[in-house]
Amino acid sequence: MKQILDEAIKGDYGVGAYNVNNMEQIQGITRAAKETKSPVILQASRGAIKYTNMVYIKYLAAAAVEENPEIPIALHLDHGNSLQTCKQAIALGFTSVMIDGSLKEDSKTPTTFDENAEVTRSVVEYAHSLGVTVEGELGTLGGIEDGVGSGQVKLTDPDEAVKFIKLTGVDALALAIGTSHGAYKFKAKPTLAMDIISAVAAKVPATPLVMHGSSSVPQDLIDIINAYGGKLERTMGVPIESIQHAIKRGVRKINVDTDGRLAMTGAIRKFLAENPAEFDPRGYFGAAREAVYQSVKGKMIDFGTAGHAGDYKPVTLEEYKKIYAL
């Protein structure tokens, strides 16, 4: 992932990191990447690893790589909660891990700066010895998703961010600028602390910055779900124009999970409502796969990722072991 994000800095664009749990999501995302010629980050949470019984996510991602050799694909652990969890993901073949040291191992209780730096540094030392990228986080987001979140918002301090990067050696840093996990993010258009992005990017321009909780929660997806029996409350996500503004200021990795869930759920509800006699899972899961593809394709264009897959030759983990050792 380090190479994908470093190249994004050079090209001044953003790269989506899309959460995956099953084959249909991975196929929809990589189809969009292939058609738009976009590098892509497939990311799996601890919940996804558990849901897929660990080994399945490894081989689903390997199948995507085999089917799309021309697309740079990173497999990233989202919100790792300990060194042991990150070791487990690396053993499964993940090429990148996030250690969320902003929270204790329960993924709910905020840590101190020193606690965060200590666990993050331990993961960096282990992962870099194997050529694996590490993302850290400083500050906490609102909301809770997949069991992760304190429910408290603590915005990132730019000066602390610089100190944190120097202490830990992380390859990418997730900032808290007012975004939120989950579908129920905001009741109105959010006001995000874009100045934090600019301040950190100015101080450490070589470090890719990350936006978590960046699903846009499109109203049309909410409407489809509710039109076919759903009962989602009105909510707002992060507008695409806000994400594009963040990319211009220095964000390179944009995490998207909720939008994929909404797209799949709406497609399945609609398919079953319109085909009440259908019982073949390939029918409704096929519709869900198509919905993910359409959603992600639009984001790859909006984030500026499209067209950059052929800009560079992917570097192997073995080569990165040598780079990190310098």
Residues that are catalytic: 78
Is residue 199 within 8 A of residue 249, CB to CB? The reply is no
SS3 category, 89? helix
Element (H, E) at 16: strand 15-19
CA–CA distance, 2 with 197 (Å, rounded to integer): 19
Q: Which of 273, 190, 288, 277 is nearest to 228 (CA)?
A: 273
Dig out the tokens for 167 from the structure.
């202490």
Q: Which of 254, 256, 217, 294 is nearest to 32 (CA)?
A: 294
Q: Between vectors from CA 307 to CA 302 and to CA 311, what angle results, nearest 5°? A: 130
What are the Cα distances from residue 302, in Å, to 97, 152, 208, 260? 25, 30, 19, 16
CA–CA distance, 19 with 33 (Å, rounded to integer): 14
Is residue 159 within 8 A of residue 197, CB to CB? The reply is no
